Amino acid sequence: MKEEIKEEGLSESKYKAKRIFMFLAQKIAGLSGLQIAAVLASNGSMSAEKIAELTGIQVAVVRDILERLHANGVLFTTRIPSTEYHSVIFKYYFDEVTVLRAFRDKLKSMIIHLTKVSEYRGTFYYCPTCNRYYSEEVAAENDYQCPVCGSELEERPNLAIEFRRLRKFVDELKAKFVQTMYI
Ligand SMILES: [Zn+2]
């Protein structure tokens, strides 16, 4: 009975790590990222060539996405010398600990960023096209035009309700961050 619970607990955390892995891969590299992550997560480790074969995505694209995922710290890689081709083969690994560490790091930097934003007391400028907010400094630097799409920025002097909501959201994120210690 005890063993059963333990096993169930283990697979639960692996399942969570898989879902987080696929979520992050999609955020980083879109639908192809998601497909690649799904294949890698169910196999544990693979080469770019094998992933390309299984997903039907071009191997160069697969390599590029795997590199991006690696740069974001969500998977790890090893070089395996290949005597057959006189070259090295890269193998990529899905690993629970690596994924959860990357997730925690991202959550932490998001909390730090949002805390900074929620403490900002200047005027915000809003782009109705991109649905983005900019600080007064950034808006002035760009002549009060959106640096992304060029639309005229709108002044948003009264954001008290949004700030209250944001602070509440940051508090929720902090609570979630503490929870990730026990995943
Ligand atoms: Zn814009």
Residue 134 host element (H or E) = strand 132-135
Q: Determine the angle formed by the axes of helices 48-55 and 2-43, rounding to 10 degrees.
A: 90
Alpha helices in the chain, H assignment, sequence order: 2-43, 48-55, 59-71, 96-119, 136-141, 160-180
Residue type, 45: S
The residues facing 126 across adjacent strands are 133, 154
Contact 98, 20 (CB under 8 A): no
Distance CA 165, CA 117 (A): 12
How far, in Å, is the centroid of ligand 1 from the Cα of 59?
35
Token representation of residue 176 = 């979630």
* Domain parsing of the chain, residue ranges: 2-98, 120-180
How far, in Å, is the centroid of ligand 1 from the Cα of 23?
26
pLDDT in tens, 92-151: 999 988 998 999 998 899 899 888 888 887 888 999 999 998 989 999 999 999 999 999
How far, in Å, is the centroid of ligand 1 from the Cα of 52?
36
Task: Collect residues with CB below 5 Å from ion ligand 1.
Answer: 127, 129-130, 146, 148-149, 151
pLDDT in tens, 7-44: 455 578 888 899 999 999 999 999 999 999 999 999 98
Match 């929620």 to its residue by tokens. Answer: 118
How far, in Å, is the centroid of ligand 1 from the Cα of 150?
6
Coil/strand/helix, residue 124: strand
Nearest to 73 by CA among 44, 103, 51: 103
% the chain with pLDDT above 90: 54
Token representation of residue 69 = 């995922």
Residue type, 128: P
pTM above 0.85, yes or no: no
How far, in Å, is the centroid of ligand 1 from the Cα of 102?
30
Distance CA 28, CA 22 (A): 10
Provide the CATH number for the domain formed by 2-98 in this structure: 1.10.10.10
